[in-house]
Amino acid sequence: MKKTMDFEQQAIKPAWCPGCGNFLILKALQQAFAELSLTPQQVVMVSGIGQAAKTPQYLNVHMFNGLHGRALPPATAIKACNPELTVIAEGGDGDMYGEGGNHFLHTIRRNPDITHLVHNNMVYGLTKGQASPTSEFGFKTLLQVDGVISDPINPIALAISLEASFVARVFCGNIEHTVEIIKKAIKHPGYALVDIFQPCVTFNRVNTFKWFQEHTYILQDHDLHDRNKAFIRATEREKLPLGIFYQNKQKKTFEQKLIVHKEQKTAFLFRSINRKRLEELLREK
Amino acid sequence: MKRIIKSITPKQDISIVLCGEAGQGIQTVEQLLTRILKLSGYYVFATKEYMSRVRGGSNSTQIRVSSNPVQAPIARIDLLIPLDKEAIKHVSSRLDKHTIIIGDRERLETNKKVINVSFLKIAQEIGKAIYANIIAVGLLLGLLGGDIKVSKHFLEEYFILKNKEEFVADNIKALERGYQEAQRLIKEDQIKHKQFSSLEKSNKAKNNLLLSGAEAVGLGAIAGGCNFISSYPMSPSTGVLTLLAQYAHDFSIIAEQAEDEISAINMGLGAWYAGARAMVTTSGGGFALMTEGLSLAGMLESPLVIHLAQRPGPATGLPTRTEQGDLQLALYAGHGEFPRVILAPANIEDAYKLTQKAFYWADQYQIPVFILTDQYTMDTYYNIKKLSVPRGEIVRFIIKTDSDYQRYNLKVRDGVSPRGIPCFGEGLIRVDSDEHDEMGFITEDMEIRKRMVEKRNTKWHWLKKEALIPTLTGATDYRVLCVSWGSTNNIIKEALDRLGRPDIALLHFQQVYPISEISTNYLNRAEQIISIENNFSGQFSQLLEIQTGISIGTRILKYDGLPFYADELAQEVNDILKGKGGQK
The Cα B523–Cα B505 span in angstroms is 11
Q: Between chains, do B421 and A44 touch, taking CB under 8 Å as contact? A: no
Beta bridge partners of A166: A192, A247
B1/B413: higher pLDDT: B413
CA distances from A171 to A25, A139, A180, A199, A210 (A): 9, 20, 12, 9, 11
The Cα A241–Cα A171 span in angstroms is 10
Do residues B382 and B69 touch, judged by C-beta distance below 8 A?
Answer: yes
Q: What is the pLDDT of residues A143-194, one digit of tens each?
A: 999 999 999 999 999 999 999 999 999 999 999 999 999 999 999 999 999 9
- Encode B339-352 in three state secondary structure: CCEEECCCCHHHHH
Do residues B562 and B322 touch, judged by C-beta distance below 8 A?
Answer: yes
pLDDT average, residue stretch B202-221 = 95
Cβ-proximal residues to B101 (8 Å cutoff; 6+ apart), any chain: B79, B80, B81, B82, B88, B95, B110, B112, B113, B114, B115
CATH number, domain B211-384? 3.40.50.970
Q: Kindly tell me if the per-residue pLDDT of B4 is higher than 50.
A: no
Q: Kindly tell me if the per-residue pLDDT of B11 is higher than 70.
A: no
B387 contacts on A by Cβ (under 8 Å): 282
The Cα B301–Cα B340 span in angstroms is 11
Q: Kindly tell me if the per-residue pLDDT of B324 is higher than 90.
A: yes
Q: Kindly tell me if the per-residue pLDDT of B363 is higher than 80.
A: yes
Residues within 8 A of B (CB atoms), A 213-272 only = 258-260, 263-264, 267-269, 271-272
Rounded to 10 deg, the angle between the B238-246 and B213-223 helix axes is 50
Beta bridge partners of A119: A92, A196
Do residues B14 and B145 touch, judged by C-beta distance below 8 A?
Answer: no
Homologous superfamily of the A4-284 domain (CATH):
Thiamin diphosphate (ThDP)-binding fold, Pyr/PP domains (3.40.50.970)
Q: Kindly tell me if the per-residue pLDDT of B6 is higher than 70.
A: no
Q: Label residue B344 by pLDDT band (50, 70, 90).
A: very high
Whole-number pLDDT of residue B479: 97
Q: How far is A196 from chain B (nearest CA, A)?
A: 24
Q: Is B483 exposed, middle or buried (0-12, 13-18, 19+ CB in 10 A)?
A: buried
Q: What is the pLDDT of residues B123-136, one digit of tens each?
A: 999 999 889 999 99
A105 contacts on B by Cβ (under 8 Å): 259
Q: Between chains, do A282 and B292 touch, taking CB under 8 Å as contact? A: no
Whole-number pLDDT of residue B583: 64
Beta bridge partners of B16: B63, B79
Q: Label residue A1 by pLDDT band (50, 70, 90).
A: low
Whole-number pLDDT of residue B7: 37
Q: Kindly tell me if the per-residue pLDDT of B2 is higher than 60.
A: no
Q: B471-577: which CATH number, 2.60.40.10, 1.10.3720.10, 3.40.50.150, 3.40.50.920?
A: 3.40.50.920
φ, ψ of residue B72 to 5 degrees: the values are: -150, 150
Whole-number pLDDT of residue B584: 53
* Closest residue in chain B to residue A108, using alpha carbons only: B259
- A142 close contact with B: CB closer than 8 A: no
B253 contacts on A by Cβ (under 8 Å): 260
Do residues A94 and A124 touch, judged by C-beta distance below 8 A?
Answer: yes
Q: B6-207: which CATH number, 3.40.50.620, 3.40.920.10, 3.40.50.2300, 2.60.40.10?
A: 3.40.920.10
Residues within 8 A of B (CB atoms), A 52-91 only = 54, 57, 60-67, 70, 72-78, 80-82, 84-85
A80 contacts on B by Cβ (under 8 Å): 228, 254, 256, 271, 274
pLDDT average, residue stretch A91-117 = 98
Q: Could you say which DSSP state residue B370 is in?
A: E
Q: Label residue B580 by pLDDT band (50, 70, 90).
A: confident
Sign of CA dihedral B72, B517, B397, A70: negative
Q: Label residue B8 by pLDDT band (50, 70, 90).
A: very low
The Cα A12–Cα A20 span in angstroms is 17
Do residues A133 and A98 touch, judged by C-beta distance below 8 A?
Answer: yes
Q: Label residue B163 by pLDDT band (50, 70, 90).
A: confident
Of A40, A61, A77, the CB nearest to B270: A77
What is the domain partition of chain B in residue ranges? 6-207, 211-384, 398-466, 471-577
Whole-number pLDDT of residue B530: 97
Q: How far is B404 from chain A (nearest CA, A)?
A: 12
Lowest-confidence region among A33-42, A147-156, B100-109: B100-109
Q: Label residue B582 by pLDDT band (50, 70, 90).
A: low
φ, ψ of residue A216 to 5 degrees: the values are: -130, 160
The Cα B430–Cα B202 span in angstroms is 59
Cβ-proximal residues to B342 (8 Å cutoff; 6+ apart), any chain: B327, B330, B331, B369, B370, B372, B511, B512, B513
Q: What percent of chain B has pLDDT over 70?
A: 97
Q: Kindly tell me if the per-residue pLDDT of A214 is higher than 90.
A: yes
* Best CA proximity match to B507, nearest among B534, B494, B528, B489: B489
Whole-number pLDDT of residue A284: 82
Residues within 8 A of A (CB atoms), B 476-535 only = none
Q: Kindly tell me if the per-residue pLDDT of B346 is higher than 80.
A: yes
* Closest residue in chain B to residue A57, using alpha carbons only: B441
The Cα B454–Cα B337 span in angstroms is 10
- For chain A, count helices (H), then strands (E): 11, 8
In 3-state terms, what secondary structure has residue B507?
A: strand
- B289 close contact with A: CB closer than 8 A: no
Q: Kindly tell me if the per-residue pLDDT of B234 is higher than 60.
A: yes
pLDDT average, residue stretch A247-274 = 90
Lowest-confidence region among A20-34, B7-21, B559-573: B7-21
Q: How far is A274 from chain B (nearest CA, A)?
A: 6
What ipTM was estimated for this complex?
A: 0.97
Lowest-confidence region among A2-11, B288-297, B318-327, B335-344: A2-11
| Mean of the per-residue pLDDT values of chain B | 94
What are the percentages of helix, strand and coil residues in chain B, rounded to 5? 40, 20, 40
A262/A228: higher pLDDT: A228
Q: What is the pLDDT of residues B44-76, one digit of tens each?
A: 999 999 998 888 888 999 999 999 999 999 999
What is the domain partition of chain A in residue ranges? 4-284
The Cα A73–Cα A91 span in angstroms is 13
B302 contacts on A by Cβ (under 8 Å): none
* Same fold: B211-384 with B471-577: yes
Strands (E), B360-408: 368-374, 381-384
Whole-number pLDDT of residue B195: 72
Q: Kindly tell me if the per-residue pLDDT of A263 is higher than 90.
A: no
In 3-state terms, what secondary structure has residue B96?
A: coil
- B472 close contact with A: CB closer than 8 A: no
How far is CA B526 from its chain centroid? Answer: 29
Q: Between chains, do A259 and B248 touch, taking CB under 8 Å as contact? A: yes
The Cα B290–Cα B265 span in angstroms is 6
